[in-house]
Structure 1
């Protein structure tokens, strides 16, 4: 669960922004979009991109793994029941699986996924960028659903996701910059952050109106994030030609940072 200290900090922020969930999700989503854009801006100054990419994605995986449970799945189970939340988790897994099968994209290590007929329509760099964009949608939904459940919890979730979105923003910008230039890579990174903002607002709008489905929605967002972390991100960071020790260290640091946010803030 999110710690008492984190909730108190988020409650202070809530008192500053009011109790309107839509306003809260807009601010939380804007924060996530800003951190993603900040990560994308790193492409303009860093040179050793490949080394930073693997380590930063491992860091993001550690945070996502913990946040899936502490910000979404466990609070949903407490508010509802395990069978109900399980339905949401399975739905989240299934939804991302279907999206990945239908939308052409490519992972640096796992390779191409999507319809074979679309494989030649886009350059590899764009296919990789699309893969990262698919990863960002569940994170935006997670922020929006958390806000619908509790504004303090939503803000705390946005803080956690925002931290790990810094390396993810870099991961979006990197493949595009390799063929389209650093400025274009930065622009695509910014657009990926904007997509998270939009999904956060949509998530709040939907589950503020359909509160009876909120536990399922939280399970859905948690399940989608787990799918992305376990099936996509972790296999990528343990890919070829990269130190498994460094990847594990990045994963551990991200894991511990999220646990710190969960227990000590």
Structure 2
């Protein structure tokens, strides 16, 4: 009975999607060996996270365009509106103490974590839709997303750890941000046509929110800690690295 349960297609979809979430935590591993976070490193970390997020955002936009250009653009607009309203709401609440929640000092980390979680909904749908095509194709996409999630976990950790979050908490929060993947993979697998239709909107929403976050928060903070040339260099290096990684992954 147990073997039958494990071999059932819906169980395999869930397990592979869960794997994609767990691998996100690997991005925090380098911070177990980095003990001293200087202001200069904080600036470079924010710059690198910005580059990783920008590359990921345009990858989402490109994927969304392949299905529906206008729905992707609509999702981007919705993402920007959503994150701006969320930011204003958090500011109206005054200084929100998130230290007990995520072990850090800035409420922006909570918003950043939320944006990455929204991004994961779209990736979860992608996994489920892929498995609905064929099992082999689903496994390929799940493994690709799992590898892709490692630098996403790194981006999350680059924002959280320098602000006071412990590496072990960064691991768990990175995994938490990707938990929508196994949760969304199952309904997307069962109701593939419905979820496939609205996938471009979800991809655009996550991309729009991330792009706003980069230029409204991460880059300005990086410029407070490092020179503009240094920030530009690290953003560019991160974009190039993430782009090369995606090209290698596609082959």
Category of TM-score, reference length = shorter chain: 0.7 to 0.9
Does residue 246 (structure 1) correspond to residue 238 (structure 2)? The answer is: no
Structure 2's unaligned 5+ residue stretches are: 1-8, 131-137
The Cα of 1:133 is off from its aligned counterpart by 2.7
Distance 1:207 1:88, change over 3 A: farther
* Alpha-carbon distance in structure 2 between the residues aligned to 1:261 and 1:122: 33
Distance 1:154 1:221 in 2: 19
Aligned to 2:78: 91
CA RMSD of aligned residues (A): 2.9
Aligned pairs for 1:120-131 (under 5 A) are 125-127=105-107, 129-131=109-111
CA contact (8 A) 2:24 2:174 kept: yes
Task: Provide the residue aligned with 1:108 in structure 2.
Answer: none
- Counting only pairs closer than 5 Å after superposition, residues 1-265 of structure 1 correspond to structure 2 as 20-36=12-28, 38-42=29-33, 45-70=34-59, 72-79=60-67, 81-102=68-89, 104=90, 114-116=91-93, 118-119=94-95, 125-127=105-107, 129-150=109-130, 151=138, 152-153=140-141, 155-176=143-164, 185-205=166-186, 207-208=188-189, 209=191, 210-211=194-195, 212-238=197-223, 240-265=224-249
User: TM-score w.r.t. structure 2 length?
Assistant: 0.74
Whose helix fraction is larger, Structure 1's or Structure 2's? 2
For residues 262 and 122 of structure 1, the distance between their equivalents in structure 2, rounded to whole angstroms, comes to: 34
Deviation (angstroms), 1:153:
4.3
Structure 1 residue 96: deviation in Å?
Answer: 2.0
- Partner of residue 10, structure 1: none
Structure 1: runs of 5+ lacking an equivalent? 1-17, 105-113, 178-184
Scaled by the length of structure 1, the TM-score of the pair is 0.71
Q: How many equivalent pairs are there?
A: 224
Structure 2 vs 1, CA of residues 248 and 133 (structure 1 numbering), >3 Å: closer, same or farther?
A: same
